[in-house]
Amino acid sequence: MFLGSVVADFKNDRTVAVVQGGRVEPSLSDRRPRPRIETLADLIFGLSLSIGAIGLIADAPVSSGEINSHILAFGFTFLVLITAWIIYTTYMSVLPAETKSVMFLNVALLLLVALVPYLLNSVELVNPASSPAESSALQDYSSTLFTLDLTGIMVILAAFAHVISLEEKKLVARDLAELFRNGRNRLAVLAVLVAVSIAPQFWEWTLLGVPTRLYVWYVPLVSYWVGRVLRPASRTYRLS
């Protein structure tokens, strides 16, 4: 299995994290320069946010309702990207990025991140020349692709959390390993929930005129931010 190869790549890695001031810190002897892939990741996350805004600017609104709609669309794009970035940087502060499998997962994750603004803009913006039936079909297809994209992002993050949680790898202290296992399980469940919304019925069923599939997209965001407020350690992976 691919996940098994990810774990196997860590057999010779000696990076060990310790708890220092409630934070995950690598041991002094194992600290390393920040990998270039992490610098590239910050750039891609930032560009994705910028592209999301530019895409909306390119489509000039004709009413106050469209302005509000565009603001909400960009706000959702921002939340998706910033939440993924926070989780990603938390994991990569512990996870060595030099192994082949982790590098591959990083590249796959960044590809999915780069697609986020394009797919969401395809859902939000429609061609005025298209008929209502054509626009709905295109939005349905775009929303399905974004659902797959979001699912993929969560699956990759869950894989990172799984590797960190393995106690025999000693990447984090035992207490923190339990937090990462919980994070892995939570991401896996959310990924399955989001993936289920790919079913056509979730586009056909509507609530207040909005397809149910779009509401499902908010579940991972609500889970993360509500959890961060109510149980900070479960999302920040820091012991109080």
In this model, does residue 189 exceed pLDDT 60? Answer: yes
In this model, does residue 74 exceed pLDDT 50? Answer: yes
Q: Do residues 191 and 151 make contact, with C-beta atoms less than 8 angstroms apart?
A: yes
Q: What is the pLDDT of residue 95?
A: 80
Q: What is the rounded CA–CA span in Å between residue 195 and residue 112?
A: 15
Of the ranges 95-109, 150-164, 188-202, which one carries the lowest mean pLDDT score?
Answer: 95-109
Q: Tens digits of per-residue pLDDT, 152-185?
A: 999 999 999 998 888 766 777 888 888 899 999 9
**Half-sphere exposure for 94 (CA within 13 Å, toward CB):** 29
**Residue 15: helix, strand or coil by DSSP?**
coil
Rounded mean pLDDT of 134-142?
Answer: 90
Q: Tens digits of per-residue pLDDT, 22-32?
A: 444 444 334 44
Give the angle 76-232-83 at the CA atoms, nearest 5°.
25
Query: Which alpha helices (H) appear in the chain, and where do they start and end?
Result: 2-8, 36-57, 64-92, 100-124, 132-165, 174-196, 201-204, 212-230, 232-236
Give the DSSP H or E segment for 27.
none
Q: Output the six-digit token pair for 108.
A: 């796959």
| pTM across the whole model | 0.81
In this model, does residue 11 exceed pLDDT 70? Answer: no
Q: Tens digits of per-residue pLDDT, 92-102?
A: 888 876 678 88
Report the percent of the chain where pLDDT is more than 70: 79
Q: What is the rounded CA–CA span in Å between residue 233 and residue 240?
A: 7
